[in-house]
A and B are shown apart, each in its own frame.
Chain A
Amino acid sequence: MMAANTEDFVIVGAQSSDANEHIAKPALSFWQDAWRRLKLNKLAVISMWFLIFIMAFAVVSNILVPQKAANSFNSDKVGVYKNLPPNSGLPIPGWDGKIKAPGDNSATDVYASQGVPDGKKFILGTDNIGRSVAKRVIVGLRISLLVAIVATLIDLLIGVAYGVFSGWKGGWIDNVMQRIIEILSSIPNLIIVTMLGLLLGSGVLSIILAIAMTGWLSMARQVRNMTLSLKERDYVLAAKSLGESSTKIAIKHLIPNMAGTIIVQVMMTVPNAIMFEAVLSAINLGVKPPTASLGSLIADAQAMLQFYPYQILIPAVMLVLISLAFILLGDGLRDAFDPRASED
């Protein structure tokens, strides 16, 4: 034992020693904490950057590749330019403008055999009337994203408003509103989308509306359940007794406290909307030709799948990657918002 001096035995009382200061870790706010946890999830971070890049690209591409450039084709030269395989200009097998037709032994240089002028290359090939697949995919991506994101925003508005109203009012209003959701959700989405598609005709706006009409149900349900539990919280009761208006309480207290859940739900709605856009295209209720969407590109290329698989590959891969990124980011956000899930 260390030789203690008598001066060690004087009362000094409770002191906040250095060690004690250490305890007070900087108190992270909910959002900072969630952000810290999200950053630990590599897949989610990659997905987030990918989506930011894709959306920025979609916006910028309006200047680079206008609709017209992707839609127009030279009707006299369809024979020359149609169904050209992807050509990178480099001798990479499968990406050099040569294609092996089913049954053939060796690949033929399609660019040469169709008499394409020297130096003209299509990096992702052309479609059956000679339009650049690359340009059409860029436009298709833009349209699909536009449809999905606007539809999701409408879902968000309807779903949150409906859910908060139903949960906040409670009683018979809530009861009736929940029955309506129950009835609507027992009707397959496909039917609602098809009916609205038929009614509104094809076109971007009508697709957006058709998709938006189906997506808000689960958002409304979740928001309503959270409203029910939040409205019993002290701070909400306090605001209520101070005479704050319901709208103000909803905006100031309810919605911020369920923002996490809402964001995660949005991440799940977008891929669904992208998928429904493609389904509508496949059943002839999609965008009006010559406008392209990822779905319509897939549907159009499907007939020639055996011979020109590259025409379907790129739009399908884009569609899957975008859905995947939204889902991975959604998973990451859900774990980040729910500390219990990110234990270990």
Chain B
Amino acid sequence: MWKYILKRLVLMIFTLFLVITATFFLMQIMPGTPFNNPKLTPEALAQLKTTYGLDLPLWQQYLNYLVGAAHGDFGISFQYQNQPVSMLIGQRLPVSAQLGAQALVVGVIVGLFMGAISARNKNNKIDGVSGILSTLGISVPSFILGIILVYLFGFKWPLFPVSGWGTFSQTILPTLALAASPAAVTTRFVRSEMIESLGSDYVQLAKAKGLSDKEIVNKHAYRNSMIPVLTLIGPMAAALLTGSTLIEQIFSIPGIGQQFVLSIPSKDFPVIMGTTIVYAAMLMVMILITDILTAIVDPRVRLQ
């Protein structure tokens, strides 16, 4: 187990190294830098370049960046001068992490319930309604849902705040907007897993033991259909990253997603690179955690 985790960590670091290298060199060939402002005097430009270490040979810049990144130092922002990228990200990361975690937890819990209820009421009204909701949930992108929520609850019936971050009520709408898709994905997945489980031979055997439907569901069907949900968490987390950048923008939430979006038009490469690396690291950690959790709860999975 520990050996496996260590191996995965090494692979993670290697992948991160590849990501850093790729982003570094991609940034070198990106068209347009914030320095081609015609108003800058040559002296000011040179001064700027020295500040950002851009006067060094490329290989040295790369090495410096690698060493810095290993220490969590991603250089200084172009846009907000004198602000280290790591500080910008550090301030905003907790906000994004909270939003993402809330959405994931709400989504998965709602999905587990709805999926299980649907499967047990297969092909009747409850299943029908949940089927419509979950199909809508996967076809309405989170940013459209976000816009709808802003319109409805911000302008039509101003029940919840539609911008900012800090109070609990400010988190409600963005969390809902982001949670819908994971809830829908989980519902559909759990429903089909549970239907498969309820039709399986081991459920037949449990029936033949004389267990009631309730006992069968509680003791056999639930566990078998919920364990595989863990495999969804990685892909859902990746989708949440994408969704949250736009949701943070729509709801004016000071997270790294918003900053990422803002740094694109201003070509703030250090921020773009730093965020990219942090995003990649976050997703990889998520995937590792769910793999470990799967191995803990699913007796069939052996980590190696």
A contacting B, Cβ–Cβ less than 8 Å = yes
Residues of A within 8 A of B (CB): 102, 183, 186-191, 194-195, 198-199, 201, 271, 275-276, 278-279, 282-285, 298, 302, 305-306, 309, 312, 316, 319-320, 323-324, 327-328, 331, 344
B283 touching A302 by the CB < 8 A rule?
A: no
CB distance from A171 to the nearest CB of B (A): 19
- A244 to B245: give the CA distance in the assembly, Å: 51
Instruction: Point out which of B23, B140, B154 has the most chain A C-beta atoms below 10 A from its C-beta.
Output: B140
B139 touching A323 by the CB < 8 A rule?
A: yes
19 contacts between A and B (CB under 8 A): A183-B15, A186-B15, A187-B280, A189-B238, A191-B276, A191-B279, A195-B22, A195-B23, A201-B31, A279-B245, A282-B261, A283-B246, A284-B261, A298-B144, A302-B147, A306-B155, A324-B136, A327-B138, A344-B123
- The listed residue (B18, B144, B238, B246) touching A316 by CB distance below 8 A is B144
The residues of A that contact B140 with a CB separation of less than 8 Å are 320, 323
B246 touching A279 by the CB < 8 A rule?
A: yes
B147 touching A319 by the CB < 8 A rule?
A: no
The residues of B that contact A187 with a CB separation of less than 8 Å are 15, 19, 280, 283
A309 touching B138 by the CB < 8 A rule?
A: no
A186 touching B151 by the CB < 8 A rule?
A: no
- The listed residue (B135, B143, B150, B284) touching A278 by CB distance below 8 A is B143
The residues of B that contact A323 with a CB separation of less than 8 Å are 139-141
CB distance from A107 to the nearest CB of B (A): 16
The residues of A that contact B30 with a CB separation of less than 8 Å are 198-199
Classify the interface of chain B: helix, strand, loop or mixed. helix
- The listed residue (A271, A302, A316, A320) touching B250 by CB distance below 8 A is A302
The residues of B that contact A275 with a CB separation of less than 8 Å are 141
Classify the interface of chain A: helix, strand, loop or mixed. helix
Q: Which B residues, 124 to 142, have Cβ-Cβ distances below 8 Å to chain A?
A: 135-136, 138-141
The residues of B that contact A331 with a CB separation of less than 8 Å are 135
Q: How many residues of B contact A (CB 8 A)?
A: 43
The residues of A that contact B151 with a CB separation of less than 8 Å are 305-306, 309
A283 touching B283 by the CB < 8 A rule?
A: no
CB distance from B286 to the nearest CB of A (A): 9
CB distance from A75 to the nearest CB of B (A): 25
Q: Report if B290 contacts A (CB, 8 A).
A: no
The residues of A that contact B154 with a CB separation of less than 8 Å are 306
Other contacts beyond A188-B238, A191-B276, A283-B246: 16, CB < 8 A:
A186-B15, A186-B280, A186-B284, A188-B241, A188-B283, A189-B242, A190-B245, A194-B260, A198-B26, A278-B143, A279-B141, A282-B261, A305-B150, A306-B151, A306-B155, A320-B141
B272 touching A198 by the CB < 8 A rule?
A: yes
- The listed residue (A186, A194, A312, A319) touching B283 by CB distance below 8 A is A186
- A180 to B280: give the CA distance in the assembly, Å: 15
- The listed residue (B26, B135, B250, B279) touching A188 by CB distance below 8 A is B279
- A183 to B13: give the CA distance in the assembly, Å: 11
Indicate whether A328 sits within 8 Å of B135 (C-beta atoms), given known contacts A187-B19, A189-B242, A283-B246: yes
* Chain B residue with the shortest CB-CB distance to A191: B276
* Chain A residue with the shortest CB-CB distance to B244: A190
CB distance from A265 to the nearest CB of B (A): 14
Indicate whether A195 sits within 8 Å of B276 (C-beta atoms), given known contacts A183-B18, A188-B242: yes
Instruction: Point out which of B18, B26, B141, B279 has the most chain A C-beta atoms below 10 A from its C-beta.
Output: B141
B139 touching A283 by the CB < 8 A rule?
A: no
Indicate whether A271 sits within 8 Å of B143 (C-beta atoms), given known contacts A283-B261, A302-B250: no
A279 touching B139 by the CB < 8 A rule?
A: no
The residues of A that contact B23 with a CB separation of less than 8 Å are 195
Instruction: Point out which of A285, A316, A344 has the most chain B C-beta atoms below 10 A from its C-beta.
Output: A316
B280 touching A282 by the CB < 8 A rule?
A: no
- A110 to B167: give the CA distance in the assembly, Å: 39
- A344 to B198: give the CA distance in the assembly, Å: 14
